[in-house]
Amino acid sequence: MTTDLGVAFSEIARTLRASTVAVHDAGDRGAGSGVVWDARGIVITNAHVVRGAYATVETAGGRRVRATLVGRDAERDLAALRIDARDAGVLVAAGRRDAATLVPGELVLAVGNPHGIPGAVSAGLVHRCNARWVVADVRLAPGNSGGPLADANGQVVGINSMIVRGLAFAVPSGAVAAFLRALRADTRAA
């Protein structure tokens, strides 16, 4: 028997999967996930997922395309990749919400590619949120790094980064926005 909540949950997961990509470091030394942040080809992932100047991104549609690293912040564990949207096919940018508006107890979902399983979904509750981290009791595994943490409406509130004592830590969406603003300012200044 399917409940209305179950149908809503599966629809949110489907929407998030459309914006989630697999990221393979150059030479396939490592793999993780990423989020299509901009339909023109910007993908956000973790700095620890992409260590070189290039990576391969596999879209939700199954296309594998070369991605160029356009920015990296190892301290915040963020990396921005650019892919050619013409090569990637249709890119669906994730909806976003400022993580500063989260409250403890809110339902959140993580989507990623743990252990190479594409589009895996897990859910949990927010424990706390500050400018540094969104902390939730969501189950993550290797391959979830760089993927989205989203609210119950499917709006991305963070980028999954690590597990500490069984809790998921995600970089808040506001930190991602600040990272991208700094990249644009650097590009204009160059």
Task: Tell me whether residue 145 is one of the annotated catalytic residues.
Answer: yes
Active site residue 48: yes
161 catalytic? Reply is no
Chosen CATH of 4-88 out of 1.10.10.10, 2.40.10.10, 3.90.1200.10, 2.30.30.40 = 2.40.10.10
* Model confidence pLDDT, tens digit, residues 65-118: 999 999 999 999 999 999 987 787 788 999 999 999 999 999 999 999 998 888
Q: Which residues, 6 or more positions from 44, have their beta carbon under 8 angstroms from its beta carbon?
A: 34, 35, 37, 78, 79, 80, 81, 146, 159, 176, 180
Domain boundaries, the chain: 4-88, 99-176
User: Is 4-88's fold the same as 99-176's?
Assistant: yes
User: Is 3.30.950.10 the CATH number for 99-176?
Assistant: no
- Report whether 123 contacts 10 (CB < 8 A): no
pLDDT at position 8 is 81
Using one digit for the tens of pLDDT, what is the confidence trace for 114-164?
Answer: 988 888 999 999 999 999 999 999 999 989 999 999 999 999 999 999 999
Active-site option among 19, 33, 77, 122: 77
Q: Kindly name the residue from 19, 145, 161, 173 that is annotated as catalytic.
A: 145
